[in-house]
Amino acid sequence: MAAEEIPLVFEFAPAIAVLPALSLVVALFFGEYFPKKGAEAGILATAGSLVLSLIMLATVAGGQTVNHELYTLVLGVSEETFGLHLGILIDPLSALMLTIVSLISFLVHVFSMGYMNDEGETGLPRYYGELGLFTASMLAFVMADNILMAFMFFELVGLASYLLIGFWFRDAGPPSAAKKAFLVTRFGDYFFLVGVVGIFATFFPATSTPGMFAGEHAFPVVAEHALAGEATVNTFGFEPQTWFTILGLLVLGGVIGKSAQFPLHSWLPDAMEGPTPVSALIHAATMVAAGVYLVARMYGFYALSPTALGVIALTGGFTALFAATMGVVKQEIKQVLAYSTISQYGYIMLGLGGGGYVAAVFHLTTHAVFKALLFLGAGSVIIAMHHNENMWDMGGLKEKMPVTYYSFLSGSLALAGIIPFAGFWSKDEVLFETLVHGLGTPTASSTLLLIGYAFGLVAVFFTGFYTFRMVFLTFHGEPRTDTAEDPHGVRWNVKAPLAVLGVLAATVGFINMTPVAELTGAHIEFLHQWLDMAPEEYLTNVHHYTEVLETASHYEAAHISPLAPGAVSLALALGGAGLAYQLYGTAAHPEPHTEKLGSIRTLLMHNYYLDEFQVWLATGVTYRVARAANTFDQGVVDGVVNGVSSVSLFSGSRVRRIQSGVVSNYASLITLSLVLLIAFFGIMGGWF
């Protein structure tokens, strides 16, 4: 690997993450002196990152990539230890993600001027500073070339989201939501950390750089060799594949927490307490995306373990359906979107678990676009509604705010998966890949995949329903309140991002139209080709993953046409949307039909009582354990610690006593100890 001869343009790669970090400093310390309170710094920085990311994208498209060490944290002192370092890995996947993140972040910054500045919020320098930190950590996470660095920035992303969710820390809700987000994701991160340590312990000394993602010495590759019997790694007595499954699932803990998958999803709806642009950023491109990106990043590792893949697929499929059902009954626009995010990330996980690496990345991309759009659109509505988020108080906004309406509609069509909007292509591909692998794979994991597929398919219907319920309740019919009658206007800085994203939401799906490609035979699966462009020596390209899936996990694709499954899912989506139209779209004053669901609605409104369950877990179980631990800590650990310190102090005061202040005592003590020393060594050395 010619790590030294990197193209000049990659010398600037670190700047992508450094620029937003600088904006943190500038906004935090000098924000007060800017007319927009620091937004300028953030916008400039993210625009710079976007430009650089696009340059990276172009360079990668030109066939150049980079995987190199930047800064050594701990040098491997000798053969027996390994070094830890920071480095960058820019291949098609990370270049794509960098572009998405910097684009969304740039737009969110612009939008924030409308949402925060124009609304006269205070503490804006802090807001923009935290936004910069958030963006910087996410970008650095995306660029990370090893799992330790990824973990570090993963945590920073969590920290930044904690700060931003709790931005309005003087109210009651936001701090508690921030704490919940922090604690729940941290719970997952414990497993991740154990996994990281496990990976380092496993793959050292088989490779000197056990944390790397890509290259001949990267851990997924070494694991592959180990499975093939070509390398020996530390598996602590397990079969290699079993042990890799354990490691993969440990890391997956962090993913489930961050990407809000069942059962660690409960923080995400609460995180709506943060400012809406922050929600857009969290849901579309940063926090939540970090989880699934990690799986995609180390896909070569997961591909080795059919069990881990099955768990991912099942978790994803179940979460997709589970969250979609809860989205059906929510009354607040952002809540609906929150559950839709959980559900959509479920799809991405399903795609990853189902062997559809390209499909998952595709859905990640399209989702980033349309979810950012929907959140910003919701933000625009919220501005218009004077920060009332209840959809039952809206209605008829279509005429009042056309730009918002049409872009929001574009996003909704994408979310529901209606052809030809972005979400259709990607969601369809996710489902299709899962189906073909479920049908084709001869081993037991095919059942898991098929169950996941079934969940996902049913969720399509619910998705269509809640999406259009949201659209109809918000924009159609007659205004139901005075505020909706006379909404607050929004300015260009809200409309421009919406317009950009609206167009993208309609078109971004064209980058990988698998069914069309299948039908026409044209090579238009651009994303697939793009991701397959990763250099051979990185071993992160698509055909390598396919190979690994086949050899290690025995995934095989059944040969069926993509048209029929696509038609089924489209029909389900249209069915859901149609039902929503029937119930909410026709009448000027729609009835709250979901109330007819009765106890089911109550169940759904309470999120299947999961929050209550978790609270019970926390108070009923954890608290008691904690109390027992506290007793132990107070009694035994503190006892030991206090004992040590009092012994220290006591012996210290004894030692002080020796210093009597009488010089003849000193002289005699010196002489005495010299005599003792001589006696000891004399007898030992046999001098006498």
Partner 1 sequence: MATTLPTWTALGPALLLGITALVLLIVDSIDPDTSNSTLLAGLSTVGSLAAFLFAGWLLVSGTGQPQTGGAITLFDDQLVVDGMSLFFALIVTSVATLVTVASHDYIADQPYQAEYYSLVMMAATGMTLMGSANSLATGFVSLELASLPSYALVTFLKKNRGSVEAGLKYFLIGALSSAVLAYGISLVYAASGHLQFDAVASAVANTEFVGVLGIGVLFVLGGFAFKTASVPFHFWAPEAYEGAPAPISAFLSSASKAAGFVLAFRVFTTAFPELAGLAGGPVTVDWVLAVEVLAVLTMFVGNFAAATQEKVKRMLAYSSVGHAGYVLIGLAALGGAPDKGFVLGASMMHLFIYGFMNTGAFLFIGLTEYWDIGRTFQDFNGLAKQAPLASVAMTVFLFSLAGLPIGGGFFSKFYLLAATAQSGTWILGAALIINSALSLFYYTRVVKAMWIEEPVNDFEIDSYPAGIYTAVIVAAVITFLLLPAFGLLSPSAVTGAAALF
Contact call for residues 173 and 153 (beta carbons, < 8 A): no
Does 661 sit near partner 1 (CB under 8 A)?
yes
Nearest-approach distance from CB 677 to partner 1, in angstroms: 6
By CB under 8 A, what part of segment 32-91 binds partner 1?
A: 77
Report the distance separating Cα 74 and Cα 236, nearest Å: 25
Contact call for residues 355 and 549 (beta carbons, < 8 A): yes
Does 683 sit near partner 1 (CB under 8 A)?
no
In angstroms, the Cα distances linking 470 to 260, 340, 391 are 22, 11, 7
Nearest-approach distance from CB 81 to partner 1, in angstroms: 11
Nearest-approach distance from CB 34 to partner 1, in angstroms: 29
Q: Select the span of 55-63, 306-314, 476-484, 663-671 touching partner 1 (CB under 8 A).
A: 663-671
Nearest-approach distance from CB 642 to partner 1, in angstroms: 13
Alpha helical stretches, state H, 417-488: 422-440, 445-475, 482-485
Binding residues with partner 1: total (CB under 8 A): 29
**Any idea what DSSP says for residue 32?**
G
Among 2, 8, 172, 684, binds partner 1 (CB under 8 A): 684
Residue 92 burial (C-beta neighbours within 10 Å; 0-12, 13-18, 19+): buried
Nearest-approach distance from CB 71 to partner 1, in angstroms: 14
As a 3-state breakdown, the chain gives helix, strand, coil percent values, each rounded to 5, of: 75, 5, 25
Tokens describing residue 362: 């595709």
Q: Select the span of 237-245, 389-397, 487-495, 647-655 touching partner 1 (CB under 8 A).
A: 647-655
Residue 452 burial (C-beta neighbours within 10 Å; 0-12, 13-18, 19+): buried
By CB under 8 A, what part of segment 470-529 binds partner 1?
A: none
Q: Select the span of 29-37, 438-446, 516-524, 652-660 touching partner 1 (CB under 8 A).
A: 652-660
Q: Select the span of 14-22, 129-137, 358-366, 648-656 touching partner 1 (CB under 8 A).
A: 648-656
Cβ atoms < 10 Å from Cβ of 592: 13
Looking at the Cβ atoms of 1 and 675, the one nearer to partner 1 is: 675
Nearest-approach distance from CB 251 to partner 1, in angstroms: 30
Cβ atoms < 10 Å from Cβ of 143: 26
Among 120, 442, 521, 685, binds partner 1 (CB under 8 A): 685
β partners of residue 212: 146
- Three-class SS state of 86: strand
Does 656 sit near partner 1 (CB under 8 A)?
yes
**Omega cis (within 30) before 220:** no
Does 236 sit near partner 1 (CB under 8 A)?
no
Does 667 sit near partner 1 (CB under 8 A)?
yes
Residues 6+ apart with CB under 8 A from 479: 394, 395, 396, 397, 485
In angstroms, the Cα distances linking 226 to 201, 203, 205, 241, 242 are 14, 10, 13, 9, 12
Contact call for residues 259 and 288 (beta carbons, < 8 A): yes
Nearest-approach distance from CB 664 to partner 1, in angstroms: 8
Q: Using alpha carbons only, what angle is made at residue 90 by residues 537 and 71, rounded to the nearest 5 degrees? A: 100
Looking at the Cβ atoms of 78 and 599, the one nearer to partner 1 is: 78
Looking at the Cβ atoms of 620 and 652, the one nearer to partner 1 is: 652
Contact call for residues 437 and 550 (beta carbons, < 8 A): no
Report the distance separating Cα 117 and Cα 43, nearest Å: 14
Looking at the Cβ atoms of 558 and 679, the one nearer to partner 1 is: 679
Does 687 sit near partner 1 (CB under 8 A)?
yes
Going by C-alpha positions, the residue among 570, 594, 572, 590 that lies closest to residue 582 is 590
Nearest-approach distance from CB 471 to partner 1, in angstroms: 56
Q: How many helices (H) and strands (E) does the chain have?
A: 30, 2
Q: Select the span of 51-59, 63-71, 109-117, 649-657 touching partner 1 (CB under 8 A).
A: 649-657
Does 626 sit near partner 1 (CB under 8 A)?
no
Q: Select the span of 63-71, 445-453, 597-605, 655-663 touching partner 1 (CB under 8 A).
A: 655-663
Does 655 sit near partner 1 (CB under 8 A)?
yes
Nearest-approach distance from CB 56 to partner 1, in angstroms: 31
Nearest-approach distance from CB 429 to partner 1, in angstroms: 50
Nearest-approach distance from CB 69 to partner 1, in angstroms: 18
What does the binding site for partner 1 look like in residue numbers (CB under 8 A)?
77, 645, 648-649, 651-653, 655-656, 658-659, 661, 663, 666-667, 669-671, 673-674, 677-678, 681-682, 684-688
